[in-house]
Amino acid sequence: MLRSVPERIAEVTALLAEVLAPRAPLTVIVDGGDPGAAAAFAARLAAAFPSTARAWNIDAVLGLTGPGGGMFDSALNVLEPATDQVLVFLRGGPRHRFAEGDGERRAQVVIDHRDPEWPVIRHLHPDLADPDRWYLSESQAFFAARAAGWDAKFGDDMPRYAEAVRRAGVRPGHVVLDIGCGTGRALPALSAAAGPTGRVLGLDFTPGMLEAARKAGRDDDATLVLADARRLPVAEASTDVIFAAGLVHHLPDPLAGLAELARITRPGGVLAIFHPTGRAQLAARHGRTLRPGEPMSEECLGPLLAGSGWRLRSYEDVPDRFLALADRL
């Protein structure tokens, strides 16, 4: 069950106040393109500080433009992190608004604020807090709010999942894990490929997503397991194929996450990293453009895989599909 709106707002601001508290005195600068939203979030964050920190200055930075003076630049483009300030970026408003801006990259805290009544922390710099303090609960909150309508929104991409499963080379008798399975859109194809002698597990860390998978009848195709991809309840070298759709780019530490996937895969096993749209199309959907050095770029993903026990076999990034296949060393 989803928490109430007041509880969600309180959770986010209380966590931020807790991790920022040791850095007093400091200025927290909130930006995101919507002056009202920035001011409201800054006020809520200020209210969450303990009484001993009331002297802190929480500023909503309004009306600034980036180095190019363009209206689509973030105010944070003109600022750099400093020891006495923390930059907070709110993802909100029209999705194209900050497509060319760089403010999100500079911020130490990124909040998904498209629904101001349901803010979710999407990035917190490790100098502020270890991911173990926020990643699981915030990611569950993000996906829980979307689980019920997920298939209605994205259900037309099922054929792309089936094609990715075919190319992953799942064969009868294989043990196959769909990690970050969501509502289980890949599970029917995985089950058909593994056959009655195989075994398919769908793992996700959001109970609402697994419940949606059950309502869709996909627990007939696989065993559904509530699990964190960073710490899988699976024995070493026990898996033939790992299917990971929309997973790796969500992990706070992709190298460690890929190493965990390698741990449970037998030598020669296959990892299929998939998304039913290309990277550029996905970035545009979220109101940004691709930048050099992103983990899923070919120049970065190859070394990440090599450093975590995999060899990149193929890489495809086209408008209607991202599919990288790797072999366990």
- DSSP states of 36-71: HHHHHHHHHHHHHS-GGGTTSEEEE--S---TT--T
Longest Cα–Cα distance of the chain, Å, equals 65
Q: Report the pLDDT value the prediction gives residue 262, as an integer from 0 to 100.
A: 98
Mean pLDDT of 238-267: 97
Q: Which of 311, 175, 324 is CA-nearest to residue 241? A: 175
Mean pLDDT of 230-245: 98
Q: Does 193 score more than 90 pLDDT?
A: yes
Judged by average pLDDT, the poorest of 10-24, 56-70, 163-177, 263-277 is: 56-70
Q: Report the pLDDT value the prediction gives residue 62, as an integer from 0 to 100.
A: 56
Peptide bond before residue 25 is cis, with ω within 30 degrees of 0: yes
Phi, psi (5° rounding) for residue 100? Answer: -105, -5
For the chain, the average pLDDT equals: 88
Our CA dihedral for 176, 145, 257, 92, rounded to 10 degrees, sits at 140
Question: Under a CB-based contact definition with an 8 Å cutoff, are residues 241 and 200 in contact?
Answer: no
Question: Under a CB-based contact definition with an 8 Å cutoff, are residues 254 and 248 in contact?
Answer: yes
Q: In this predicted model, what pLDDT tens digit does every residue of 194-210 receive, in sequence order? A: 999 999 999 999 999 99
Nearest 5°: CA angle at 287, between 286 and 293? 80
In angstroms, the CA 183 to CA 135 distance is 20
pLDDT band at 56 (very low <50, low <70, confident <90, very high): confident
Q: In this predicted model, what pLDDT tens digit does every residue of 131-155 receive, in sequence order? A: 999 999 999 999 999 999 999 998 7
Q: Does 297 score more than 50 pLDDT?
A: yes
In order of start, what are the domains of the chain with their CATH numbers? 5-144 (no CATH), 151-328 (3.40.50.150)
Our CA dihedral for 180, 182, 185, 187, rounded to 10 degrees, sits at 50
Question: Under a CB-based contact definition with an 8 Å cutoff, are residues 223 and 271 in contact?
Answer: no
In angstroms, the CA 272 to CA 243 distance is 5
